[in-house]
Amino acid sequence: MFPTPIDKTSRSWQLSYQALLPVALIFWLLPLLAVAVFSIKPDTDFTTGNYWGFPSSFEFVANYGKVFFASDMPRYMLNSLLITVPTMIGCVVLSSMTGFALGVYKFRSNLWIFFMFVAGNFVPFQILMVPVRDLTLDMGLYNTIPGLVLFHIAFQTGFCTLFMRNFIRALPFDLIEVARVEGVAEWRIFWYVVLPLMKPALAAMAVLIFTFIWNDFFWAVVLTQGVESQPVTAGITSFNAQFRAAYHLMSAGSIVAALPPVAMFFLMQKHFIAGLTLGAVK
């Protein structure tokens, strides 16, 4: 079922594997490379059809200069940050508490509540588009940053609770019982015993949520409209003029917009991978 590890295969297969890997890698990264190259090309290269060739002139400074100083990009980046960070904090705080409650206490409907959190993850979020839009409109939160943050927190908490509850379940329950025998209040058990043990899970989840929310496009388009509230994923098209798409500026903008999650990934790689596999292996 699993492929044989490479170091156990024949020498000739190892050689061809080593030769094919870079080729596959380049193919895989081609679209990204194209965006990177587009971002330093002048506008005319698109009109002359020079899509894949050498840039006719290098416009790195001009293009990126426009992105940072002559467009709303800085504002969009700020919006993204103002949406992502509160969502991240909100999700982590709420789900560590729900996870604690569902993981530690035994009460009658515990499992059912837990199942509801899990079931929420199986709802395809697109079908919520119209009701959520109407709801935010009725609440006066349409086209505002808090509106987007509240929705993201509500929607992401389901997944986070699953994640946290399973992590807390895997902790040695004896620790909690010992604390109870010592007469420690329940909230102190949460704060001084469980929370410190959850640090790896908290970090992993924060990193995951950050990338999820930063990269969200769908809800950004559905729930926000203007430069005062739209995150960078939705704002990137503002480079387009009425008739013309400014591919060179959109490419430069995309690169800039992609930097925070990419930086997050490389800096927190350990937590990211831990997050993805957490709960997968018992």
Partner 1 sequence: MVLKSKSILATLATTVALTTGAFADGHAKLSGDLTIFSDMSNPAPRAVMEGMVERFGAMHPDLNIELTVIDREAYKTQIRNFLTANTPDVANWYAANRMKPYVDAGLFEDISDVWESDELSGLASTKGAMTLDGKQWGVPYTYYQWGVYYRADIYKELGLNEPASFDEMKSNCQAIIDSGRKCYTIGTKFLWTAGGWFDYLNMRTNGYDYHAKLTGGEIPWTDDGVKATFANWRELIDMGAFIDNHTAYSWQESLPFIVSGDAAAILKGNFAVPPLREAGLDDSKLDFYQFPAINADVELAEDAPTDTFHIPSGAKNKEAAKAFLKFVVSAENQTLINNGDNLGQLPVNANSSVDDDKFLQEGFAMLSSNSPGGVAQFFDRDAPAEMAKVAMEGFQEFMVKPDNLDKILDRLDRAAKRIYK
**How many beta carbons lie within 10 A of that of residue 135, not counting itself?**
16
State which residue, 46 or 265, has the beta carbon closest to partner 1. Answer: 46
Q: Which stretch binds partner 1 (CB under 8 A): 166-174, 185-193, 222-230, 268-276?
A: 222-230
Least gap, CB of 34 to partner 1 (angstroms)? 14
Q: How many residues bind partner 1 (CB under 8 A)?
A: 17
Q: Which stretch binds partner 1 (CB under 8 A): 13-21, 225-233, 254-262, 267-275?
A: 225-233
Whether the CB-CB separation of 113 and 48 falls below 8 Å is answered with no
In the complex, minimum distance from the CB of residue 226 to partner 1, in angstroms, rounded to a whole number: 6
276 sits near partner 1 (criterion: CB under 8 A): no
Asked if 80 is part of the footprint of partner 1 (rule: CB under 8 A), the reply reads no
Q: Which stretch binds partner 1 (CB under 8 A): 2-10, 168-176, 219-227, 257-265?
A: 219-227
- Contact assessment for residue 124 and residue 241, using Cβ atoms and an 8 Å cutoff: no
Token look-up 């003029």 returns 241
Single out the residue of 145, 128, 142, 132 nearest to residue 231, CA to CA.
Answer: 145
Taking CB under 8 A as the rule, does residue 46 contact partner 1? yes
Q: Does 9 participate in binding partner 1 (rule CB under 8 A)?
A: no
| Cβ atoms of residues 163 and 278 within 8 Å | yes
Q: Is 227 a residue that touches partner 1 (CB under 8 A)?
A: yes
- Smallest Cα–Cα separation from 261: which of 200, 189, 210? 210
- Rank residues 152 and 248 by Cβ distance to partner 1 and give the closer one: 248
**Distance in angstroms (rounded) separating the CA atoms of residues 256 and 75:** 13
Residues numbered 117 to 156 that lie near partner 1 (CB under 8 A) are none
Burial of 36 from C-beta contacts in 10 A (0-12 / 13-18 / 19+): middle
**Is 174:106 a contact under the CB 8 Å cutoff?**
no
Q: What whole-number distance in Å separates Cα of residue 82 and Cα of residue 89?
A: 11
Check binding of 47 to partner 1 (CB under 8 A): yes
Binding range to partner 1, per CB under 8 A, among 97-105, 117-125, 171-179, 223-231: 223-231
238 lies in the site for partner 1, by CB under 8 A? yes
Q: According to the binding rule CB under 8 A, does residue 61 interact with partner 1?
A: no
Q: What is the spatial distance between Cα 69 and Cα 267, in angstroms, rounded to a whole number?
A: 28
List residues near partner 1 by CB under 8 A: 43-44, 46-49, 70, 225-227, 238, 240-245
